[in-house]
Amino acid sequence: MSGWDHLEDFLRYLRVERQLSPHTLRNYRLDLTQFLEFCSEHREGLSLSQVTYQDLRPFLAAALKKNRKTTVARKLSTLRTFFKYLQRQGVASQNPAKLAPSPKLEKVLPHYLSVDETFHLLGEPKNEDFGTRRDLSILEVFYSGGLRLSELAGLNCKDVDLAQGVLRVWGKGSKERLAFLGQPAKGALTAYLPLRQRHLEQHRTGDETALFINSRGRRLSTRGVARVVAKWVRLAGLSPGLTPHGLRHSFATHLLEGKADLRAVQELLGHASISTTGRYTHLNLDYLMEEYDKAHPRSK
């Protein structure tokens, strides 16, 4: 059985057993395809059962020359998961990727908006046409619900409950959670949905299920959503470094500045670990010191 056959079996396992998202599966395929091609070119005839840490080092070194440290760390994580799977299948006797040290990553958090900047972005004068109403809904839902890019692009109409003001969101690992809609987000969706329906009626091959659709009536892709955010950030004269994740970051930051409980923010963001949510407290030193002064018996 060739390494390529093992790759397909591994991807099938990730899709069926672990139910990973298409985006994550694409990354696994890309990373492992590059690894197998590298082995074919530099270590022809090498079996996966024979791969050692010494065989991985040139691949990781070459990857580090072409990619950011975060990308190389992802590739190393992919290899660790792949060889762990091969161990369980009895193909490999060891996991050589476990011996490789992860690149030391800089702790870089995404750009975020102040409350005033957020209101400026969402308050830009907008027309009543389909595209503008859709774009405003996207911005409002991002900020109101704190969604990831893939979560927003994957929303279906049935996931929206305007009466209750909630969204059913499918996060990482196909985990379901509820996100909330404020009044502005509900109003934006209420104005957008009739225009969406009218737009679909003009495109018989459109996607009836997708909440956010493109000019052809198909589901708006993650790249399309990112373009929408970039467009309105530019028109609002804000930092061009703001990404869709920056709106999610702004959501978490503003909640914590408003003294929301860290555990509650963790649930709203869909973080598996509280330490991941804790990164968002980096900017609010005054708030943290205030909480310390209130709670610590020796703070005075």
The catalytic residue among 148, 186, 199, 254 is 148
Q: Torsion over CA of 133, 149, 265 and 137, rounded to 10 degrees?
A: 0
The catalytic residue among 199, 248, 249, 254 is 248
Is 199 among the catalytic positions? no
Please check whether residue 274 is in contact with residue 262, taking contact to mean a CB–CB distance below 8 angstroms.
yes
Sheet holding 166-170, edge to edge: 160-161, 166-170, 176-180
Is 245 among the catalytic positions? yes
The catalytic residue among 172, 177, 203, 219 is 172
- The two structure tokens encoding residue 239: 């930092």
Is 248 among the catalytic positions? yes
Is 263 among the catalytic positions? no
Q: Which residues pair with 166 in a beta bridge?
A: 161, 180
Among candidates 158, 19, 272, which has minimal Cα distance to 168?
A: 158
Is 280 among the catalytic positions? yes
Is 172 among the catalytic positions? yes
The catalytic residue among 75, 245, 249, 254 is 245
Catalytic residues, by residue number, are 148, 172, 245, 248, 271, 280
